[in-house]
Structure 1
Amino acid sequence: MKTTQEPSPAILTPTLTLGRPRRGTPPGAARLAGAATAPPGTDTRSSRLAHRAEAAAHARRLVRSALGDWHIAGDDADSVLLVASELVTNALEHARPPLVLRLSRECAGLRVRVGVTDGGPATRRESWASSRAPGEHGRGLAIVEALAAARGTAGHPHGTTRWATVPVAREDVPAGVGGFHGS
């Protein structure tokens, strides 16, 4: 497992415009979720998620849809879904809004990168998370580390992006089939 710190926020290259920023969105957060050019050889999907308990389930539906479009199934799909769910849950429990999910697939189909951008550390623990039993906490990043070929964190002026790259079976499916945006 390789854990890296991304060298600069310039690596964050969301590709879909998610609409106008909501009132109260920190300056610059819209840029993270706004239009930019994707790295060559990738198919990228991104979506803003509500900062509430249902966000993890919503993220899983979005990821499942993208993986279906990319013809990624079985254990590979399960691994990507679990990584996405754990990263979103971690952001919900420990960070402020806004919350943006970003999923990228190499055109070669060998890896899927899951990234979750948040608004930085929370000042208090969210009530829905703290109501869970203590034994239900603390395993998320260990699960991500076990499933990912690489993972890391990129800090930027308006928050943090945690990402993981999950190896998947090679598929001969063209990039750009379907997509999700906004929510």
Structure 2
Amino acid sequence: MSVAQLGAASGREENHAFPLSHTPGAVSAVRHRVCGLLDAWNLPPDAVDDVLLVVSELVTNALVHARPPATLRLWRLPLDGRQAVHVEVTDLGAAAPPGPATAPDPDEHGRGLGIVTALSARCGVRADAGGASRWAEVVAS
């Protein structure tokens, strides 16, 4: 089933999928592609900034803390009489926790999901035997 068919089958007009590579520069590359999509959707600049930040945080979270592969999906939807962008990153679930020598510095890490929560009208996590999806809906109009 194509991405367009997936969107139509689920009642969404457009569902855009971006496979994520676990490589340096992956977050920057996907932000660039998403920016082009958001521009095509003619979203206000403030909404574009919020969506891009949410994308960055959810993608980084998956690339740092989860097992590959991971996929980013975006689509528009109505939310409380306004337009929103649904951002969702699906991966194979949590990777092994880091050992004490490789644990991230709490002064530099750990704020991403707080940022996502602050910028989103709604957000959450879905987990099943096949992995996990973190999602957020950002008001765009």
Shift of residue 53, structure 1, vs aligned partner: 3.3
AA matched with 2:96 = T
Within-5 A mapping of 1:92-131: 92-106=63-77, 110-125=83-98
**Aligned counterparts of 1:160 and 1:41: Cα–Cα separation in 2:** 21
Decide which moves more: 47-56 or 92-101. Answer: 47-56
Shift of residue 36, structure 1, vs aligned partner: 3.0
Q: TM-score, normalised by structure 1?
A: 0.66
Between the aligned residues of both structures, percent identity stands at: 41
Within-5 A mapping of 1:47-126: 47-106=18-77, 110-125=83-98
Q: TM-score, normalised by structure 2?
A: 0.84
CA offsets, 1:65-93, max 9 Å, x none?
11011011311000000000000011111
The match for 1:16 is 3
The match for 1:154 is 126
**Cα contact 2:123–2:135 (8 A) shared by 1:** yes
**Cα contact 1:16–1:36 (8 A) shared by 2:** yes
Q: How many residues align?
A: 136
**Aligned counterparts of 2:90 and 2:29: Cα–Cα separation in 1:** 16
More strand as a share of residues: 2
Stretches of structure 1 that go unaligned for 5 or more consecutive residues are 1-13, 18-34, 170-183
Stretches of structure 2 that go unaligned for 5 or more consecutive residues are none
AA matched with 2:94 = P
Decide which moves more: 50-59 or 110-119. Answer: 50-59
Decide which moves more: 87-96 or 44-53. Answer: 44-53
Decide which moves more: 142-151 or 37-46. Answer: 37-46
